[in-house]
Amino acid sequence: MKKVLFVASESVPFIKTGGLADVVGSLPKCFNKEEYDVRVILPKYICMREEWKNKMNYLTHFYMDLAWRSQYVGVLEVQYEGVQFYFIDNEYYFSGPTPYGNIYQDIEKFAFFSKAALSALPVIGFKPDIVHCHDWQTGLIPVFLKDKFQEGEFFRDIKSVITIHNLKFQGIWDMKTVKDITGLPAYYFTPDKLEAYGDANYLKGGIVYADAITTVSETYAEEIKTPYYGERLDGLMRARANSLRGIVNGIDYDEYNPETDALIENNYNARNFRKEKIKNKRALQRELGLECDEKKFMIGIVSRLTDQKGFDLISYMMDELCQQDIQLVVLGTGEERYENMFRHFAWKYQGKVSANIYYSEAMSHKIYASCDAFLMPSLFEPCGLSQLMSLRYGTVPIVRETGGLKDTVQPYNEYESTGTGFSFANYNAHEMLYTVKYAMEVYYNKKREWNKMIDRGMAVDFSWHTSARKYEEMYNWLCGW
């Protein structure tokens, strides 16, 4: 049996702040159970829902040195959907209303978590062939594996993989504090190891010491080798290019399934969407107080309202966009100026624009199921999941060609009648508006072509099973299986 341990700071259904949790919660159950034993280890946050905490079984506890302090480490477990989850318990580190707090607290919290996750393995009797780390919060694990843990027989031949979900977040703090927290010797804090621009950088440590590195799409793996996307680590990404690969994320095809989704008004599938999908649109128009016209071109946006997601482009073009023959439905929270911008336009163009400045899982499903098109003009997008959901629901994505958006949305070609969506290359507001207008023209004037595009979009497979095969391939390569 090939053994793999996922170590991460969040996972559905236990705790979620972003896409990382979807990956860690969905991917392990998609590996071939005959061949792989994949388990997950997470922090036991006080802010988790009580129902999950009540299901956990206490396994053991011990004390561990973290530099000069001795810390309590509790280990609990839960079986969920056939996957074994372990939780590291320490109320000093994992209290608080959210999983992440101030960066200086998080720096110590995740140094503790990384070391505790490794220290717990001999105690619970699970020796993985590969420890698969996710993002900066677990960046110290490959470093610890090459340092402290080399002394014991148990850890000697364990390989490490680190997945970069978003290179922007790196876990950076001053070197003196990080030396003190981690107890790592001074020789680790040099420019070829953990030091970056005068500070200590957790993610950099993970990238330097991991045996393999992945990111969440092939294009993003290429992009981060360039200064524009490389977040000051592009030189390191180029140096480790031989160990770097992109594997696109998937989505849970059971949860996001228009045929069985209980959150939407009317179920439909790839065969009957021409008649059935529109009933969702009518219901959403009524619910949100939009003009009830099933023929109107309805564009959806479900997103964090931040610059990264391209909202400066939308804001620049919003008046002109609203002059078009469209309806716009927005769901999400984020920067105040974008929240207020959408509120303003919902007031100015009543019946045409709906601004839902909150987050709701149910409303997001309704938008994927009701809209004709889905807009994602991101500045950068490591993978992106919303475009995968919109394809699954037969809603045509309009995206900028970056990262995972470029890898998963094939641009429409009217001469060959191919493609699953619309895309534009430059980060430019006029180019975005032109692409929206082009999509609108196809929708109104070439309805058969539009429906064929939906057929192709609903036929592509971005389920986790596809991604899991690629991870298996990488594990086999890494361990010479």
> Is 273-460 assigned to CATH 3.40.50.170?
no
Cis peptide before 97 (omega within 30 of 0): no
19 pLDDT higher than 90:
no
Q: Are strands 199-201 and 396-400 parallel, antiparallel or unpaired?
A: unpaired
Contact (CB, 8 A) for 15 and 21 = yes
Q: Let me know if the fold of 2-250+465-479 is the same as that of 273-460.
A: yes
Taking only the tens place, the pLDDT of each residue in 120-144 is 999 999 999 999 999 999 999 999 9
Fold of the domain spanning 2-250+465-479: Rossmann fold (3.40.50)
Taking only the tens place, the pLDDT of each residue in 204-227 is 999 999 999 999 999 999 999 999
Helix (H), strand (E) at residue 66: strand 57-66
Mention every residue, 6+ apart, whose C-beta is less than 8 A from residue 237.
207, 224, 225, 230, 244
Q: Which two tokens stand for residue 98?
A: 């959210």
Q: Enumerate the domain spans of the chain.
A: 2-250+465-479, 273-460
Taking only the tens place, the pLDDT of each residue in 432-448 is 999 999 999 999 999 99
Q: Which of 292, 323, 334 lies closest to 436, judged by CA?
A: 323
CA distance 219 to 217: 6
Taking only the tens place, the pLDDT of each residue in 377-416 is 999 999 999 999 999 999 999 999 999 999 999 999 999 9
